[in-house]
Amino acid sequence: MTPGRRRPPSGTKAPGLKPSGTKPPASRIKGRLTRQGGAAPEDAAVPPAAERTQKVLARMGLGSRREIEGWIEAGRLTVDGRALTMGERLLPGQAVFLDGKPLYTETRTRIARTFILNKPAGTVCTRKDPEQRPTVFELFPGALSRQLVCVGRLDFNTAGLLIFTTDGELAHRLMHPRHGVLREYAVRVFGKVDDEVLLRLEAGVEVDGETLAFEDVERQAGQGINEWYTCRLKTGRNREVRRLWESQGLTVSRLIRVRFGPLQLPRRLPAGRHVEVTGPDLGALYKAVGLPGPAPASDPVKPASPRKPRHVPAQTRGRSPRPR
């Protein structure tokens, strides 16, 4: 022992020294394991940047979520030489193949585009129809139509606003009930409608085992037994507007969708024509479903050259009638 120094009492720690049994902080162990190539902690198993495959591909406009999920279930999508599984997250740098052909890489960029179509009555909202009826996709140029996702559907005899987009994530959110996007319709009703009928339609009625209701109904211009009404709702069930009126013993003689969320059917847009949504209108549409706005398109598509649909009734090719 050096002269002049005293040994510290038993159980005390000398200044500047650590007890031999003290463990280093967990953060230091985590960093040491990472640098040495050791086992990664559980919370680092999925990098924060990893997203579900169907979400990434839908956002790129490569298909709707439902369509992409169908590819996964059928084993058509592969990554790293193996079939993707449902819900699997796509890691940075991974490439996705569809039927053995490259579909997506991390460096691929795509400008999202969104369009409003004034759907004419007498068309169906499918790409191919077994009855050979004209489809709404035939109203777009061929190369563009293959990239588009139709947001919801209008039945064969319904006209008006349809949204098409190359952004699958936007389409998914617009159609999902939890976002409650408002739809507005102009309806011409044949039959006697009193205030009690309107109250029942707003309160909710039982139709085919489910409760249907309008958010609100407004009486518009009209004379005699045919009157126009404005109906609003936040769901998109099959033939929902017609079924509600029919439950009251009434007949819908004309049905036109005039608004979807913040987008309104342009008054000067003829039936069968489309226009690209840009600027503040596009930003408002993304904001309505909680998405950041897309990058602006550098070469917007002009609505001047759609393919001519087959067998569309002559009276639907002009401007759609609107209630006054």
Supply the residues annotated as catalytic: 155
Do residues 286 and 170 lie in contact, with contact meaning Cβ atoms separated by under 8 Å? Answer: yes
Do residues 216 and 281 lie in contact, with contact meaning Cβ atoms separated by under 8 Å? Answer: no
Identify the sign of the CA torsion 12, 13, 14, 20.
positive
Q: Match 């699958």 to its residue by tokens.
A: 168
**What are residue 135's DSSP bridge partners?**
124
Apex CA 168: angle with CA 166 and CA 169, to 5°? 130
What is the amino acid identity at position 8?
P
Name the 3-class secondary structure at 241.
helix
Dist CA 136 CA 122 (whole Å):
10
Give the DSSP H or E segment for 54.
helix 53-59
Buried b (16+ CB within 10 A) or exposed e, 24-55: eeeeeeeeeeeeeeeeeeeeeeeeeeebbbbb
Do residues 160 and 196 lie in contact, with contact meaning Cβ atoms separated by under 8 Å? Answer: no
